[in-house]
Each structure stands twice: as C-alpha cells, then as structure tokens.
Structure 1
Amino acid sequence: MGQNRRMAKGPFRLIASDLDGTIIGPTGEASPRTRAALKAARQAGMEVVIATGRPPQFALHLPEHLNAGSTMVCSNGAITYDLESNTFLDRFAMATEVWHQVVTDLRSAVTDVSFGLEWGCDHTSESTFARVLGRHDRVPVPDILQAPAEGAHKLLALHPDIPIEDLAPRVREVIDGRLHITWSTLPFVEATAPGVSKAAALRRYCDRRGISAEEVLAFGDMPNDEEMLAWAGWGVAMGNAHERTKAVADEVTRTCADDGVAIVIERLLG
C-alpha cells in the first residue's frame, strides 16, 4: 500500500470504479448501501464513471441500477461508451496482423490454449473457451482466426489446466509487448492494443472534462485495476483485492461484501 502520499481529503470531482469484486459481489448486484453512496456522491457534484473489464454488451445495463453516470469505460479501456447518445467516445482496436500472429505464437508455446475475441458490442470464442466458462450464448468458432477480424479490441486466452497466475506470465513472455496484457477475476488473460488500459481511458476522458488525476478517486480489486489506482489522486483497493493490487493502492478498504466502496464515500462526504 502506498505510504508516501497524504490521506485523501478531496475535493474529488470524479469517482472511477471497477464492477466485479468492487461494487458488484457474487450475487451479481450492488448492495443498497453502495448504490446509496454512489447516488450521494453524484448529488454532491461528483461524476461516477464505471471502469470495467467487461465488454459493453455485459455492462451497459448497469449504470442506471448503480446510480452511476452515463459514461462507461469497458473492455479494460479499449472502449469508452456514452449511454445517453449510444455512441462510442473512444474505441481502440488491435492490429489484425498482430493479434493473428500472437494467436499463432501462443499455440506454439502453450499447448491446448483456447481463445475468445471481442469487437464492438459482440464476441465469440473457441469451444474449449466457451465450455470452461459455461458460455452458451454464441455458437463457438472452430478457430478464432476465422472470427471477424476488423475492429477486434480484446483477445482472451485461457488454458483448461493452467491457473491464471501461472498462465499470465507465460502469455506475457510470448507476446513480448506486442499487446497490453492483464487479467482479473475470470481465468483468462486479457490482451488489448498497446497503451490501452482503464487508466489511459480515464485520462483521456478527464482531459476532455478538465479534470486532473488528483481530482479522481478510484476503486478496484484486481491486476487490471492497478494502473487506474496508481494514476488516480487516491486509489483504493478492496479488502478482497489481489495482494499485488493492494500493494499499489493508497488505501485498502473493507471487502466488497462489507460495502468497502460505500465506507470510503460516506467518510469523504462527512
């Protein structure tokens, strides 16, 4: 946990929060206390921006339920979407030739690796990937290289027998900087175009709004939140966060189940 920064007093103009494991627990919903705290923050003049690894199709229904604002950072920063206008504010695709070569290289280096792919508001995956995750909303493709290539913004890599903690460094070594690598709660590695992250997306959004990093309060729990927590004026890791994520945060709050986000917001609002 960061020890060289002053305890946050604000004023904060924007709250950026991860979803799963941060404000949404195992039930798939945010608690009434957390929703009330987010509403109170907005009433006090703060923007609330959701920053999630989820693709848009699995996230766009949530801001109204959560009392969040109309802007969402999705797919680990590859997409920033405005719900009021139903438009993409930012969208960063991987170069087709790059992710195709990455798939080929990973297949050579990691036997039985399986892939998923996201583009726009759509997704697909290979059969092993779909089976391990229990996803049956799409017919799997026999080879991810046959999936629509233009505009793909996130490549997912999963192994049925290798834990994510072991798979991630192997994937990172093979990719060697050609894509940005991270991971979160689910057992797959997530790859986006170089330079894409939640932090980068929030920085662009805040620049357009005239908001400095020091005016941002951020919450998260997993490695895909680390850059965001480090960039924000005050980064808060959940009590249930990954240990390496706690290490980059300025503060560790209570767990998601114990309304850790609400506790911090309530304290700041007095």
Structure 2
Amino acid sequence: MTQIKMIATDVDGTFLNDQRQYNHQRFAAQLDRLKAANIRFAVASGNHIGHLHKIFAATPAVQSFVAENGGLIVDQHQTLFEAPVPTDVAHAVVDALMSDDSLRPQAFRLSGAHGTYVSRDSKPLDLDAQNYFFNNLVTVDDLRDVNDTIYKVNGEWPHGSVQHVVDQLNTRFAGQVHATPSGFGSIDIIAPHMNKAVGVTQLAKSWGIDPSEVAAFGDNGNDKEMIAHVGLGIAMRNGAEAVRNVADLVTPTDNNHDGVLDVIDAILAGEV
C-alpha cells in the first residue's frame, strides 16, 4: 500500500461528534505523532475559514485549511488558492432561486471574504445552528446588492427536497457553478469544477505530495469527490450511503465514538 503522507478530514458529522466536540487531548497527541512521522494534517470543510479557526483553537497546531468546499485554501495564515464565484453569477443564482417558488430556500446566505451575508427575510431551519456555523453574519435586504468576493452561495431547504434543487441548479447553471449537498438540508453552490478533491489536491501538491498518498475522511455529498479521488478514501460509519459506496474503508466506529481518531491511530500503526 502507498505510504500515507497527508490526512485530510471533513468536520461536521466526521471529525466532530453530534455535540460539535472532539477529544482535544487525544488529538493533540496524535498531531505530535503525525509530525514525527512526517504526515501532514489538514481540514477539508464546506465552512468558512473563520469558523474553522474557531473550532480548532484548542489545537493550534492545526494550521492548514481547505475551506468553502475547496474554494479557499489557507496554510499557516497564508492564502494559497482561491476560486470565488463571479459576482454576476452569484447574483444570477440568487435571482433564479428567489423568483422560483419551487426552488426558493427557507434561508439564504452568501459566504464572502469580509462576511457571511444573510437575507433579512431568511428563516433558517435552526437559528442556533446558523449562529454556530456563521459567526460573521451581516444582514442585508437583498443579497443581489452584495459586493464582495463570494466563495459560496448557501441555502437551506426542507429535508428530502435538496437533491431536486441540486439537479435543477447544476442543469440551469451548467459550467457556471457547482451545487452540492452539504448536510442538514443545506446546499453549497460554489465555483464550477470546484470541490474538496480539487482543494485537497492543490494543498497536497504545494507540499510535494501526490493524491495517492493522501487519506481523507468524510460523511456527506460534498465529500464524495474527495473520498473517491485520494489514495485512501475513508467514509464515516454514520455517513451517507453514496459516500460509503466510493470509499476504500468505512470507519469501524461513528463520529460519536472517535471514528476519525481511531483510524488515525491505525494509520500511524501501519495497520491500514
């Protein structure tokens, strides 16, 4: 088997348990062991960079982030790569969704370089979750008036209707955006041909690492390309079936029982 030189992990439903926590002490010890073994560690998430810094503040050795589903890569506080959605395209997506009652989201946000812009009439499915995931909220009357570098358009729909919206968006805006389910009734709409696989590959190459030497963990639709692309794709036991189907390995335990940390131990021990 190819030697693993980099580990990348999704956050929600993967690295974090359902209480949005992780074992700080155990993970900090693993980071020391990974460094000694010359194995790089990175976070690969659909979340914005400020939120990721907040999550990993307890383990400050984590300094490599593939944020916004690959649309922004930050390593050691330096931006290595970004792929924003063109402003006119982001506004066109907003217009299409707001003008079609069958596609209109309950909550609507633009993730930008200087804030996460939320429509004043948004009705998030879970207000506490919105306040948790987006700690840089800026309320606006019309998202089509936002002028910022936009990494992602994000919306929330009732569970069950998400894939229909994804398919509609990818057909209507083919070659302009890439829509992907991101869990909890949410969809991320990002730059075309962009996903976590692209972002993780970009970061790995900056370190002289081939994708075949990367292990990656994930649980949801926006992890599927990454899991399928890397040398060792690892799906969470609690993950979506579509992700488990493309994985090389399914974690023996779920996100509530240190599933990621257990497999990292196995990687360090040369058992996988």
TM-score by length of 2: 0.85
Amino acid at match of 1:101: A
1:188 maps to which of 186, 189, 193: 186
Amino acid at match of 1:262: L
The Cα shift of 1:139 comes to: 5.0
2:125 maps to which of 114, 120, 132: 132
The answer to whether 1:24 aligns with 2:22 is: no
| Partners of 2:153 and 2:94 in 1: CA distance | 9
Residue number in structure 1 paired with 2:152: 154
| Partners of 2:249 and 2:220 in 1: CA distance | 14
| Partners of 2:82 and 2:162 in 1: CA distance | 27
Residue number in structure 2 paired with 1:4: none
Report the CA distance shift for 1:260/1:159 in structure 2 as closer, same or farther (over 3 A).
Answer: closer
Amino acid at match of 1:154: K
**Structure 1 residue runs without a partner (length 5+):** 1-8
The Cα shift of 1:152 comes to: 0.8
| Partners of 1:23 and 1:66 in 2: CA distance | 13
Report the CA distance shift for 1:104/1:258 in structure 2 as closer, same or farther (over 3 A).
Answer: same
**Partner SS for 1:245:** helix
The Cα shift of 1:250 comes to: 0.8
| Partners of 1:55 and 1:180 in 2: CA distance | 17
Amino acid at match of 2:190: T
**Partner SS for 2:22:** coil
| Partners of 2:160 and 2:169 in 1: CA distance | 11
Report the CA distance shift for 1:219/1:68 in structure 2 as closer, same or farther (over 3 A).
Answer: farther
Are the equivalent residues in 2 in contact too, given 1:219–1:238 (CA < 8 A)? yes
Equivalent residue runs for 1:104-115 within 5 Å: 104-111=95-102, 112-113=104-105, 114-115=107-108
2:3 maps to which of 3, 11, 22: 11
**Partner SS for 1:69:** coil
1:45 maps to which of 20, 23, 38: 38
**Partner SS for 2:233:** strand
**Partner SS for 2:257:** coil
Are the equivalent residues in 2 in contact too, given 1:181–1:191 (CA < 8 A)? yes
**Structure 2 residue runs without a partner (length 5+):** none
Residue number in structure 1 paired with 2:267: 268
Residue number in structure 2 paired with 1:76: 69
Calculate percent identity across the aligned residue pairs: 27
| Partners of 1:80 and 1:37 in 2: CA distance | 23
**Partner SS for 1:116:** strand
RMSD over aligned Cα atoms:
2.3
| Partners of 1:161 and 1:262 in 2: CA distance | 30
| Partners of 1:127 and 1:243 in 2: CA distance | 36
Residue number in structure 2 paired with 1:6: none
TM-score by length of 1: 0.86
The Cα shift of 1:167 comes to: 3.2
**Partner SS for 2:122:** helix
